[in-house]
Structure 1
Amino acid sequence: MRRSPLARPLTLLLGTTLVALAAAAPPAAGSDGAALPAVTPRAETPTLYDDAAGGNADADDPAIWRNTAAPDRSLVIATAKEGGLRVYDLEARPVQSIPAPPAPGPDDAPGRFNNVDLVHGLRLPSGRADLAVTTDRGHDTLRVYRIDRNRPGGPLTDVTDPAAPPVFSDGQHEINDQRTAYGLATWTDTGTGRSYALVSRRNTTTLALLELTATAHGTVGYHTVRTLDLPATFRLPNGSSWTPCAEPGELPQIEGMVVDPTGAGTLYAGQEDVGIWRLPADLSGTPHLVDKVREYGVPGRYDPETEECTPGADPGYGGTRLSADVEGLTLLTEPDGDGHLLASSQGDDTFAAYDREQADDNEYEGGFRVTAASPELDGSEECDGAAVLNAPLGRRYPHGLLVVQDGHDAPADGDRAATGFKYVDLADVTEALDD
Structure 2
Amino acid sequence: MITTDRQVQALKPEKGVYWESVKSPHGGGLAIRVQPSGSKSWYFRYRFNGKQDSYSFGRYPSMGLQEVREAHKDAANLLAQGINPKRVRKERKEKNQAAWTMGELFAKWIISYAKTPSTRTKRPPSETVVEQTAWRWNYYLKDHLGELLVMHVDSQRIKGTISDVAATQSREQARKCLTLLRSMFDFAEARGQVENNPAYGIEPSKVGASKSAPRERKLDLTELGRLWAAIEQARLASSTAAAIKLLILTGQRRGELLLTKWGHIDLDAGIWKIPASNAKNRKAHTVYLSTAAVGLLLSLPRHGEFVFPGRVEGQPLGANAITTAVLRLQGRKTRKRDKKAPLGDMVPFSAHDLRRSFATGLGEYCATQPHVIERMLNHVPEDSLVATYQRAEYAEEQRRAWQAWGELIESQVAHDPKNVVPMRRAME
TM range, smaller chain: under 0.3
Q: Normalised by the size of structure 1, how large is the TM-score? A: 0.22
Higher helix share: 2
Q: TM-score, normalised by structure 2?
A: 0.22
Q: Pick the structure with more strand per residue.
A: 1
The higher radius of gyration belongs to 2
